[in-house]
Amino acid sequence: MGALTIASANMTMPVRCVLPLTEPVVIAVADGLGGHAAGEIASEHAVHRMAEMSPRLLSPDDVDVLLKNIDEEIKDHANQHTEFSGMGTTVAGLLLNSDGNFWFNVGDSRTYRLEGTRLRQLSQDDSPPLPPSDDGKPVTTNFITQSLGGSGSTAMVPHVGRDHEPDPGTWLMCSDGLSDLVALEDMERIIAEAGSDEAAVHALWQAAMDASGRDNISILLARRI
């Protein structure tokens, strides 16, 4: 299956690693909701469960079932610990296996595929449509229509789909701490001008911080090689 290079940042120092792809692999970002402590627990639980189950994820249906299970697990934890009422997390990522590449998301964290110098969004935002701004800046909202866990009363329905483009592939995953503050064309320019993936994720992180970034900023740039 080749190898996977990953550069990521949610702090000032980017990290890069190279992983052999010998079994199904899940790569994802998660952005917690419901207060710092509660959100951190929810997001950590989500990514740990996905990592734990990744060898068994063979199809989009498997991803759908896992995300629904995680949703119930987070809600059960919140019900048992009232101080964590409303805890939840967004998630966006990829399942890479021998059958292909599959994207998934819940909430407003995003997955893009890099096609040349252009980013094409694969994920589907769980947020209400907003009118365009007059100044061309991104229009943002803190409201999302669903998450893993959270206080919503309706059933959570994950977005899962196949990335039909052939390998090798390159993907950007990020929380809304980046996509809400840095315009798409600026993200594309930053990646194109960076000398390495590590430099790219650090420059993206810095751009979000320079735009008064106060939200969690999680960025992951992955290449299947």
Domain boundaries, the chain: 3-224
Q: What confidence tens digit (pLDDT) does each residue in 10-62 have?
A: 654 545 555 555 668 899 999 998 776 788 999 999 999 999 999 999 999 99
Q: What confidence tens digit (pLDDT) does each residue in 170-208 have?
A: 999 999 999 999 999 999 999 999 988 888 988 999 999
Closest CA to 46 of 75, 9, 17, 6: 75
Q: Does the structure show a pLDDT above 60 at 1?
A: no
According to the model, what pLDDT value does residue 167 have?
80
User: Angle formed by the axes of helices 60-80 and 36-53, to 10°?
Assistant: 140
Classify residue 16 by its DSSP letter. Answer: E
Q: What confidence tens digit (pLDDT) does each residue in 114-135 have?
A: 999 999 999 999 987 666 666 6
Helix (H) or strand (E) holding 53: helix 36-53
CA distance 91 to 105: 5
Query: Could you give the residue ranges of the DSSP H alpha helices within 106-193?
Result: 176-179, 184-193
Q: Thinking of the domain 3-224, which architecture would CATH place it in? A: 4-Layer Sandwich (3.60)
